[in-house]
Amino acid sequence: MNVGEPDARSPLYRVLLAVVTVSIFLGLTFAILSLPPDAAGLAERVDAELAATGVRNSVTATLLHFRGYDTLLELAVLLLALIAIRAIRRGEASPPRPGGEILTVLAGLQAPAMILVAGYLLWAGADAPGGAFQAGAVLAAAGVLLVLAGVQLPQRTDGLQFRVGLIAGLAVFVGLGIAGVLASSAFLDYSRLGVRVVTLVLEGGAAVSIGLVLLEMFRSVLGGSRAPRKASRSMGQLDG
Amino acid sequence: MTISVLYALVGVALFCISLYSVIVGPDPLRKVLAINVMSSGVFLVLVSLARRAPGPGPDPVPHAMVITGIVVAVSATALAIVLIQRLHTAGAPTAAEDPGDDS
């Protein structure tokens, strides 16, 4: 522990901190209780503009159309985090660990169904709860299941196809944004591009990218927990 | 007090409990877990306050913000865990191994 840093173990420090956090709790509680019980928020404005987006689910419309910058930058954050993780791990690969027989058989049965569910969520997202994030999460879960079962994934994760998948969401988003500039002179303005098709393309790209990035993050964390303490440095190799 | 306000208060409580843990917790992994619980509290507050909108559904804008927030929280967590693993491989003593730490 550094000199000058307050000792986190001293009882006085803990009591003071408890007093501070309880005060924060009381203040926030007061703030929430003093809010009006009914607040329309932005729901009415979203409903009023919903017809222009070609999407009937207001959350999906908000994510892709009203707050498009948010979603675009979020995909960038995902990719940036993965790049940082890969830079830290420096290509240390985790050897596939054979899973138990039951897990392997079950994963083989479940993974195709999960990919089907992801596709359904993606398609249903336009009209009902669902969408790119949910589909991406299910895709990633299918991949995690296969990795845990010790199934060798068909694609090398530093291969070209895998990398294209990782950036697909961001690339599609930026590409359609620039197409919006050319068609209606505003970034991320899809009003002249056929909103229904644009929504589906955006969601498809985002779902693939989110699924692959989350899976790759999981594999990186898993690989790190298994890497032997001494050998990890000599195993490190830069690829690409 | 409606049920959504109760949920929001639970979110505030989660936030404050894990704020304490983030500051006091000796182990980096515990801090990361506490930050995750903290963000769950924030999401719970946002989602439940969105339910105050009249009409059949909640206010969609906070919901969209929460979806974005969840993904960013997952990315930050993965990055933090890999950094902790790196610290561990580099031989930095963690609180769990430090014999002087008995908390």
Residue type, A21: T
Tens place of pLDDT per residue across chain A (240 aa)? 444 455 556 889 899 999 999 999 999 999 999 988 787 778 888 888 887 777 888 888 888 888 888 899 999 999 999 999 988 887 566 666 677 888 888 888 999 999 999 999 998 888 888 889 999 999 999 999 988 888 777 666 678 888 898 999 999 999 988 888 888 878 888 877 777 788 888 899 999 999 999 998 998 888 766 544 443 333 344 433
What is the 3-class SS of B20-49, one letter each residue?
HHHHHCCCHHHHHHHHHHHHHHHHHHHHHH
Q: Give pTM, 2 decimals.
A: 0.82
Cβ–Cβ below 8 Å for A229 and B26: no
10 Å CB burial of residue A205 (0-12, 13-18, 19+) is buried
Smallest CA-to-CA distance from A106 within A139, A140, A136, A150 is with A150
Please determine, for residue B8, whether its predicted confidence score (pLDDT) is greater than 80.
yes
At A154 the pLDDT is 67
| Token reading at A206 | 């985002």
Chain centre to alpha carbon of residue A12 = 41
| Token reading at B6 | 């109760």
Cβ–Cβ below 8 Å for A39 and B1: no
Residues of A with Cβ-Cβ distance to B43 under 8 angstroms = none
| Token reading at B82 | 């890999």
Residues of A with Cβ-Cβ distance to B19 under 8 angstroms = 21, 24
What value of ipTM does the predicted structure carry? Answer: 0.82
CA of B13: which chain A residue's CA is closest? A25
Residues of B with Cβ-Cβ distance to A24 under 8 angstroms = 16, 19
Smallest CA-to-CA distance from A208 within A176, A145, A165 is with A165
Cβ–Cβ below 8 Å for B52 and A41: yes
CA of A218: which chain B residue's CA is closest? B78
| Token reading at A56 | 């009937």
| Token reading at A89 | 């791990």
CA of A8: which chain B residue's CA is closest? B24
Residues of A with Cβ-Cβ distance to B53 under 8 angstroms = 38-41, 43
CA-CA distance, B58 to B60, in Å (whole number)? 6
Residue type, B88: H
Min Cα separation B45/chain A (Å) = 9
Residues of A with Cβ-Cβ distance to B88 under 8 angstroms = 229
CA of B53: which chain A residue's CA is closest? A40
Q: Which residue has the tokens 């060798």?
A: A152
At A190 the pLDDT is 80
Smallest CA-to-CA distance from A223 within B95, B86, B91, B28 is with B86
Domain annotation for chain B: domains and CATH numbers: 3-89 (1.10.287)
**What is the total residue count of chain A?**
240
Q: Which residue has the tokens 């209606």?
A: A184
Q: Hey, how many other C-beta atoms are within 10 angstroms of the C-beta on A11?
A: 7
At A129 the pLDDT is 84
* pLDDT (tens digit per residue) in B27-76: 899 999 999 999 999 999 999 998 888 777 788 899 999 999 999 999 99
Smallest CA-to-CA distance from A202 within A167, A166, A176 is with A176
Residues 119-148 of A with CB under 8 A from B: 133
Min Cα separation A22/chain B (Å) = 7
